[in-house]
Structure 1
Amino acid sequence: MVKEGEGPRPPHRSQARGEPLDGATALSGVALVTGASSGIGRHLVAGLAARGMAVAGLARSGERLAAAMAEVAAASGAQTLAVPADVTDRAAVDEAVARVREELGPVDLLVNNAGVIDAAEEPLWEADPDQWWSVVESHVRGAFLLARAVVPWMVLRNRGRVVDLASGMGVRARPEYSAYSVAKTGLMRMTEALAGALEGLDVRVFDVAPGVVDTPMTRAMPMWRGFSDWTPPERVVELVAAIAAGELDQWSGRFLRAGADDLAVLRATTPADAARQLRLRPYGDDDPLA
């Protein structure tokens, strides 16, 4: 454990719990991925386990989650743990994180992936208020509760990485997906606020937009009907793995896009000012907010 007053330590990187994929960065430690039973979360669980991490998966559907985590363990030889919980339930989140810590160890990488989408493509005034708000809660309250339960332990150890799954809809609102747009914008603000609070520590926070990955959620969205230019899920895994390895620390508090951003460029670039952060654009040189 890092004692108070000690300086930052480099991220823990070593081969453990099985062989990583050929050419992939070897990782160790414990990852906690929410929304792990299907879609992007399921790909992340498999990719992180294949690189040597012990992985805890959290999702509401206990039976499907248990099956997914068992499949990953069998394929990778990694230690996995299925933890059924609703990310919007404070007591359930606290209990889930405590269980991960007790059975696997302290969390080195938290990936806030869980979240739902608007029930239908419709303007805000036609949306069901309860369903609309449940979308915002799933992304914002869920990530807040996970960070609240996990980050203090990262601070205590002076080591950890947090990834919030962002979206292009967080920077360019879609009127037919107003709840999802609001949720992802809020999540980006939370990422930046958390990164600022952690400045000076070896605990970093990132927004990662996965692009349009072929998942049951995107398949269910009418706007992607007939779409074929999917972002390979491997690109999302590679980006998150690079973050876990401490290779992109200079991008903490900023927005990264899997499938569009080149990892080599990201590694070699130190962003300045408010690059890749949400800001108002001035209307001209005389704008008082410029």
Structure 2
Amino acid sequence: MADLAGQIALISGASSGIGRALAEGLAARGVLVAGLARSEERLTTAMAEVAASSGVRTLAVAADVTDRAAVDAAVARVADELGRVDLLVNNAGAIDAAEVPVWEADPDHWWDVVASHVRGAQLLVRAVVPGMLARGHGRIVNVASGMGTRANRDYSAYSVAKTGLMRLTEALDLALQGSGVHAFDVAPGVVDTAMTRSMEMWRDFTDWTPPERVVELVTAIAAGELDAWAGRFVRAGRDDLATLRGLTPEDAARRLRLVPYGAEDPLA
């Protein structure tokens, strides 16, 4: 198990599900974890339990990731109490309320889903990355999804949000070249969480991705083992870490691109 002692991570959506699993897994490897979520009571309990099981300091910071002032205040508190952020994990985000085509979806909720993933990540990046740049070191993990690489008729807001998040990751990668700061898309697969259990499409699903696979992938990123994959999409439970460590992807590998209709395609 990689020793990341001394690193400091800020994880959004840390009170449950994948965020909670990442908080536990990183803390077990010596990372000081600041958890961020909207529900202060549940978050405080979760971070206290992580601290008790790992013996590592944690910090619970309640904030809505779509609220600019709340995000700025949360990141300022993390900096004051823990000193810096070495690893930012943008995990918070909502899901479509019902499996319906886009014209039948509640427009306000639809936009709230998109904002939770894209605005939330952008606000945290805005607050955290300048400090990383000043130190010349840092990593950002955006929790991606296979739905960001292909459309889903019943989860249009979620798929639009995850596609937007992937574009944000690539834009970050381009802007961060040579800075010592790197951004990654990490798809966790289908982890058994309250959110996935609420989705009708997974009703009879059994081939869950163990959360430990997500932790292993993020741990490898935090340890600097996968910097060659910055700006690209990796998938827990499918990608083999040894293979990723030994490869340097080129061109458009694991990035969103148009597929030419043939050699004569003028956009090829």
Regarding TM over 0.5, the answer is yes
Which of the numbers 191, 198, 201 marks the counterpart of 1:220? 198
Aligned counterpart, 1:233? 211
- Alignment of 1:156 with 2:156, yes or no, is no
Aligned counterpart, 2:237? 259
- Structure 1 residue runs of 4 or more that deviate by more than 4 Å after TM superposition: none
Structure 1 letter corresponding to 2:192:
D
Deviations 1:120-144 (A, max 9, x none): 0000000000000000000000000
Aligned counterpart, 1:207? 185
CA distance in 1, matches of 2:37, 2:232: 26
CA distance in 2, matches of 1:130, 1:243: 35
Structure 2 letter corresponding to 1:83:
V
* TM-score (structure 1 length as normaliser): 0.92
State the secondary structure of the residue aligned to 2:225.
coil
1:160 positional shift: 0.2
Q: Percent identity?
A: 74
- Alignment of 1:38 with 2:20, yes or no, is no
Aligned counterpart, 1:52? 30
* TM-score (structure 2 length as normaliser): 0.99
1:201 positional shift: 1.4
- Alignment of 1:65 with 2:65, yes or no, is no
Deviations 1:260-285 (A, max 9, x none): 00000000000010100000000000
CA distance in 2, matches of 1:176, 1:55: 35
**1:235-250 to 2 correspondence within 5 Å?**
235-250=213-228
Aligned counterpart, 1:25? 2
* Count of residue correspondences: 267
CA distance in 2, matches of 1:261, 1:214: 19
Which of the numbers 105, 109, 127 marks the counterpart of 2:83? 105
Q: Which runs of 5+ in 1 are unaligned?
A: 1-23
State the secondary structure of the residue aligned to 1:47.
helix
1:29 positional shift: 1.4
1:226 positional shift: 1.2
Aligned counterpart, 2:257? 279
Structure 1 letter corresponding to 2:161:
A
Which of the numbers 164, 174, 192 marks the counterpart of 1:186? 164
Q: Which runs of 5+ in 2 are unaligned?
A: none
1:105 positional shift: 1.2
CA distance in 1, matches of 2:15, 2:63: 12
